[in-house]
Amino acid sequence: NAGVTQTPKFQVLKTGQSMTLQCAQDMNHEYMSWYRQDPGMGLRLIHYSVGAGITDQGEVPNGYNVSRSTTEDFPLRLLSAAPSQTSVYFCASSYATGTPYEQYFGPGTRLTVT
């Protein structure tokens, strides 16, 4: 099992560029989510999905789009990158039902927007 994989590990974008952060899991988890981690701000929820075809907004969804066409993949799209989106992005997955709702996290993507 690879667990949760994220690509790329590092990315530098110019303001206004778009890109997609990839996330995949091989644990057949229904629930997937994206977080961003900024210094002093902890982990903030961007978007989440309780299953294929279903997505919803988290705490800080503006500037990001997601889709969930398969159980395994949950890409995060930055439509027009801004310096405020410089952050470390983590994808996570878990079972949607049944405790303890333990999420497995990927290693993260470090994004810099100049």
Partner 1 sequence: DQQVKQNSPSLSVQEGRISILNCDYTNSMFDYFLWYKKYPAEGPTFLISISSIKDKNEDGRFTVFLNKSAKHLSLHIVPSQPGDSAVYFCAARGDDKIIFGKGTRLHILP
Task: List, in sequence order, the alpha helices (H) in the chain.
Answer: none
Shortest Å distance, C-beta 109 to partner 1: 11
Residue 51 · residue 97 · CB < 8 Å: no
Interface contacts to partner 1, rule CB under 8 A: 4, 31, 33, 35, 40-45, 48, 50, 56, 58-59, 90, 92, 96, 99-108
Token readout for 100 is 């303890």
Q: Which is nearer to partner 1, 17 or 88 (CB)?
A: 88
Q: Which of 20, 11, 107, 19 is nearest to 69 (CA)?
A: 20
Beta carbon of residue 22, minimum distance to partner 1 (angstroms, whole number)? 15
Nearer to partner 1, 27 or 50 (CB): 50
Instruction: Pick the closer one to partner 1 by CB: 15 or 56.
Output: 56
Q: Quick one: tokens of 12?
A: 């530098």
Of 61 and 75, nearer to partner 1 (C-beta) is 61
Least distance in angstroms from the C-beta of 44 to partner 1? 7
Torsion of CA 85, 47, 5, 25, to 10 degrees: -170
